Amino acid sequence: MEICDLTAAELGRKIKSGEIGVREAAEAFLDRTDKTDKTVHAYLTIDRKSVEKRADEVQEKIRSGEYDSPLAGVPAAVKDNICTRGLKTTCASRILENFVPTYSAEAVSRLENAGTVILGKTNMDEFAMGSTTETSAFGPTRNPWDTDHVPGGSSGGSCAAVSSGECAYALGSDTGGSIREPSSYCGVTGIKPTYGTVSRYGLIAYGSSLDQIGPIAKTVEDCAAVLDIISSHDPKDSTSTERSYGFSKSLSDDVRGLKIGIPGDYFTEGLDPEVAKAVTDAVDVLKQKGADVEKFDLGYVKYAIPAYYTIADAEASSNLERFDGIKYGYRTKDCEGLHQLYKKSRSEGFGEEVKRRIMLGSFVLSSGYYDAYYLKALKVKALIRKAWDRAFEKYDVVAAPAAPSTAPKIGESLSDPMKMYLSDIYTVSVNLAGLPGLAVPCGQDSKGLPVGIQFIGNCFGEDKILRAGYAFQKEYPYRAPHLTEKEAR
């Protein structure tokens, strides 16, 4: 098996034993990227010289015993809304086209302190606003399983990079499903941890009460290992939590007695029958392994999308106010006066979807509409949280589709924003309630495109969803897309 086709955990063990060198591993992924990324376009920025220099440094520190993490020396990628010191961080937007941060996000620093080699920054929907990675100012990413299709979003670049073997694992961010939906579309594993588990310091904000950084990898084992590294209390992030960690310890093939709830509200009109069958079959696998499975009604599912987009867009309109052409980022060259400088810089620097969401957010926060929209959305958010609380009084894990369909063709969703928004229908309530969610590949449709199942847990219940996902992957191992197989040959 080639280096790029190993899981992150497998590669980490081979590097630790000396069977594979750190630079050898990094160059293997860079060479794979040279071959495939002309088609996939998973990356926005790669600095090969810096990668090679870092690989040599890591190799020495592994030899000296300074780096002893299970993933030391394993090459990774980082979504382009997560700050990396000295490496461009653009949020896939013209307004930050040449922005180079002077500091790294806490999650990135923790990876580097564990001996990670960061290959580059991955493409995304502009400012994480989208579900297809088509709103990027620098062109869309394509799905490695079928390049006529989208990889999902907004972490589509990270998921495509893992799927096509252009990195061993990647960091993404999840505001309303942006790790789980593209993981489903690209046939990889991704986890959105409980809100506050991973520091948001250095994550360029979209919706501050919803955003969370999480890992994307080939397997549940890989995701747990990455989560062990990046999770911590951080005094620089007032929303980060004090809690015990050790996610890899929860991996077990034994799911006997695990109570799994199936929300009947998710299996209604709008769900592709092939997706429904793949998810149902996956749950049956866990049932045969001893899990207790039962259907139930969650409630408030139809209100999740309007509540989410009201809250997220309101927060986005505030968070993106800082990008004004004055302090950093794009500045228009032709203007008269300060007001026109703001107006033209933002108009020229932001894309259509970002401008749409800023306007919607400003509208719901404006005088006369705050109570009618924003305040009402907050009340719905509280009701959704209570519905989840009731579910977890009875169940350990809730299993559901990660997306209502497999990956659509490029151009289909972008022409209809409402259709794009509705693709998040099974993921947004997890963010509204601050819960952890894990997407795991569970099959393919008749076109050969991957289907993902989503395991949802109660707050700080990552151990149970990781256990369910790990047990399922013992029966349904990771499958590489056809593009990777072609390149491997």
Residue 176 has pLDDT above 50, yes or no: yes
Q: Give pLDDT tens digits for 193-230.
A: 999 999 999 999 999 999 999 999 999 999 999 999 99
With a pLDDT cut of 90, the percent of the chain lying above it is 91
* 164 has catalytic annotation: no
Angstrom distance (rounded) from CA 6 to CA 255? 26
For 314, residues 6+ apart whose C-beta sits below 8 A from its C-beta are: 361, 364, 365, 374, 377
* 93 has catalytic annotation: no
Assess if residue 413 is contained within a domain: yes
Query: Which two tokens mark 442?
Result: 């569970």
Assess if residue 361 is contained within a domain: no
The number of distinct structural domains making up the chain is 1
Instruction: Count CA atoms closer than 13 A to 391's CA, side-chain side.
Output: 30
Assess if residue 210 is contained within a domain: yes
Assess if residue 237 is contained within a domain: yes
DSSP annotation string for 46-79? E-HHHHHHHHHHHHHHHHHTS---TTTT-EEEEE
Angstrom distance (rounded) from CA 144 to CA 165? 10
Assess if residue 155 is contained within a domain: yes
CA angle (159, 17, 1) in 5-degree steps: 50
Assess if residue 395 is contained within a domain: no
Global pTM reads 0.96
Binning pLDDT at 50, 70 and 90, where does residue 423 land?
A: confident
Assess if residue 189 is contained within a domain: yes
* 474: enclosing H helix or E strand: helix 462-475
Q: Which of 178, 184, 423, 429 is catalytic?
A: 178
Instruction: Tell me if 226 sits within 8 A of 71, measured CB to CB.
Output: yes
Please give the C-alpha separations between residue 21 and each of 27, 54, 77, 110, 165, in angstroms, as whole numbers.
10, 13, 19, 22, 18
Q: Which of 79, 121, 381, 464 is catalytic?
A: 79
For 217, residues 6+ apart whose C-beta sits below 8 A from its C-beta are: 7, 8, 162, 168, 169, 170, 188, 189, 190, 223, 226
Instruction: Tell me if 40 sits within 8 A of 483, measured CB to CB.
Output: yes
Q: Which of 109, 154, 232, 429 is catalytic?
A: 154
Note the pLDDT of residue 334: 85
Residue 363 has pLDDT above 70, yes or no: yes
* 69 has catalytic annotation: no
Backbone angles phi, psi at 129, to 5 degrees: -105, 90
Residue 12: give its domain's CATH number.
3.90.1300.10
Residue 335 has pLDDT above 90, yes or no: no
Binning pLDDT at 50, 70 and 90, where does residue 482 land?
A: low
Q: Give pLDDT tens digits for 260-295.
A: 999 999 999 899 999 999 999 999 999 999 999 999
Domain coverage including residue 426: 3-255+409-488
Q: Give pLDDT tens digits for 241-265.
A: 998 889 999 999 999 999 999 999 9
Assess if residue 45 is contained within a domain: yes
* DSSP tag of 6: S
